[in-house]
Amino acid sequence: MPGRTEKPIKASEITAPELYYSRRSFMQLAVGAALAPLLSQSAWAGDKLSGKPNPAYAVPDKPTPREDISHYNNFYEFGTDKEAPAKLAGSLKTRPWTVAVEGEVHRPKIFDIDELLRLAPLEERIYRFRCVETWSMVIPWVGFPLAELIKQVEPTGNAKFVEFITLHDPAQMPGQRSSVLEWPYREGLRLDEAMHPLALLAVGLYGEVLPNQNGAPLRVVVPWKYGFKSAKSIVKIRFLEQPPLTAWMKAGPNEYGFYANVNPQVDHPRWSQARERRIGDFFRRQTLPFNGYAEQVAGLYAGMDLNRFF
């Protein structure tokens, strides 16, 4: 039989932090400093896609090299190894591509991706990005506020949540032949979170079209939340009255909540969230509440018990 059959892995078995990073560091030591750059050689030759730098949304931290941004990925549709997406996502067909926007909206619409690219002026925003596994990066995204799209479709008074649904195509996405998560990948935000000016629809990074492994042709970026909230390769956006049940909530309800705000005070059941390793750094640093965006977003959660709504 042509397809691979993989032993199902429980999501709770696969996200132990730092294991990968230390294995990779060890391998790089083992092959010697001279050979290491060859191993991370990029095959990515992205088309130019620049956005106007928006200094109001640029953190002062040094951006992570694009080699790391595009070779250390979580995109389980292409496997659970950090290097798998860079190896396997190259063949994902990102044209033609449509995004259906539906549900509780007055103007549901199927957008062609090239129409979406012209929906609002593209900006460059340099955001911190923190994975629940405790690594972090600094990424110069190209995109526009998610709110611009939301305004176009005019949510009804019943719309309280937004669901993001990734492409489901096991022929193109070999990881979908394993049941590590329920496919298609689903994520969600409360409508006011989705409308927040920091919530971005990203179509590029480092002035080029998004590499497939980073979620081409279109992904969300929600920088104050753990990375898994930022759904990749989106084909459908639904407006709902009730919160959607996300892929990670189904995989581990005690471990991955709906909110998933970066919070150094609320540990993952299996590890601390107090510190993080910025990819490229040797020493860990303290994790900041809301990933450093507290001033902008803490108000969204006023009066909520963040231990309960994790």
Ligand X SMILES: Nc1nc2c(c(=O)[nH]1)N[C@H]1C(S)=C(S)[C@@H](COP(=O)(O)O)O[C@H]1N2
Among all chains, which residue has been given the structure tokens 């909230």? 229
Shortest distance in whole angstroms from residue 28 CB to ligand X: 20
Dihedral sign from CA coordinates of 247, 248, 253, 257: negative
Dihedral sign from CA coordinates of 37, 129, 18, 229: negative
Q: Is residue 310 close enough to count as binding ligand X by CB under 6 A?
A: no
DSSP E strands, 42-198: 52-58, 98-103, 109-112, 123-130, 135-145, 161-166, 186-190
HSE-up (13 A, CA, CB side) for residue 276:
29
Exposed / middle / buried, residue 248 (Cβ in 10 Å: 0-12, 13-18, 19+): buried
Nearer CB in complex with ligand X: 185/293: 185
- 235 forms beta bridges with none
Among 64, 134, 136, 166, binds ligand X (CB under 6 A): 166
**Residues 81 to 120: which contact ligand X by CB under 6 A?**
none
Nearer CB in complex with ligand X: 153/234: 234
Shortest distance in whole angstroms from residue 248 CB to ligand X: 8
How far is 153 from 166, CA to CA, in rounded Å?
19
Q: Is residue 74 close enough to count as binding Mo ion by CB under 5 A?
A: yes
Among 145, 188, 227, 292, binds ligand X (CB under 6 A): 227
Shortest distance in whole angstroms from residue 49 CB to ligand X: 16
Among 196, 232, 236, 238, binds ligand X (CB under 6 A): 232
Q: How many helices (H) and strands (E) in the chain?
A: 9, 13
Among 57, 228, 248, 259, binds Mo ion (CB under 5 A): 228
Contact region for Mo ion (CB under 5 A) — 46-54, 68-76, 83-91, 204-212?
68-76
Among 84, 101, 131, 198, binds ligand X (CB under 6 A): 131
Q: Is residue 73 close enough to count as binding ligand X by CB under 6 A?
A: yes
Q: Is residue 227 close enough to count as binding Mo ion by CB under 5 A?
A: yes
Q: Is residue 174 close enough to count as binding ligand X by CB under 6 A?
A: no
Contact region for Mo ion (CB under 5 A) — 31-39, 107-115, 124-132, 287-295?
124-132
How far is 51 from 205, CA to CA, in rounded Å?
9
Contact region for ligand X (CB under 6 A) — 73-81, 142-150, 190-198, 288-296?
73-81
Number of C-beta neighbours around residue 218 at 10 A: 25
Contact region for ligand X (CB under 6 A) — 24-32, 55-63, 91-99, 222-230?
222-230
**Residue number with the smallest Cβ distance to ligand X:** 227
Measured CA distances, 36 to 31, 149, 239, 245 (Å): 7, 42, 46, 41
Measured CA distances, 232 to 167, 187, 203 (Å): 9, 10, 10
Q: Which residues bind ligand X (CB under 6 A)?
A: 73-77, 131, 166, 185, 214-215, 227-228, 230-233
